Amino acid sequence: MIDLSKIKLMNSQKLPLTRKQKQIIQEYCYLAALKTLSEEQSEQMSKILEIAIGDEVIDFLIGEADHFIGHKFNIIDETVCKNHQANLKERIVLEKPEADKITS
Ligand SMILES: [Zn+2]
């Protein structure tokens, strides 16, 4: 599970990203929004997902990008989405009491 206290996303509007991380996220967003991927693009996508395994900031932002893209293409049911968020909030509070300060 991602450690929100480390990222402090909710507290500060800006997420500190290195130039490299920003490039990777931009690349991911570009690729994720395409209808089909060429072989080269698929390989690039795999590389990014591999990087995400070892970089929780990128991993988190990829999840957010997927969510955003899902809304953009209308493939997310907002009710499911809200339930998921409520569920997630409960879990975060249960597992990390100090997350209360971040989410409220
Ligand atoms: Zn949503």
Distance CA(70)–CA(31), nearest Å, equals 13
pLDDT single digits (tens) 36-76: 999 999 999 999 999 999 999 999 999 999 988 888 888 88
Distance in Å, CA 76 to ligand 1 centroid? 7
Distance CA(101)–CA(82), nearest Å, equals 20
Q: Tell me, what's the pLDDT at 99?
A: 54
Would you place residue 13 in the very low, low, confident or very high pLDDT band (cuts 50, 70, 90)? Answer: low
Any idea what the Cα angle at residue 90 is, between residues 63 and 72, rounded to 5°? 30
Would you place residue 7 in the very low, low, confident or very high pLDDT band (cuts 50, 70, 90)? Answer: low
Residue 97 half-sphere exposure toward CB, CA atoms < 13 A: 0
Distance in Å, CA 65 to ligand 1 centroid? 11
Mean pLDDT of 10-32: 84
Residues with Cβ–ion distance below 5 A, ligand 1: 81
Is the pTM for the entire model greater than 0.75? no
Distance in Å, CA 78 to ligand 1 centroid? 6
Boundaries of every domain in the chain: 17-103
- CA-nearest of 6, 1, 10 to 100 is 10
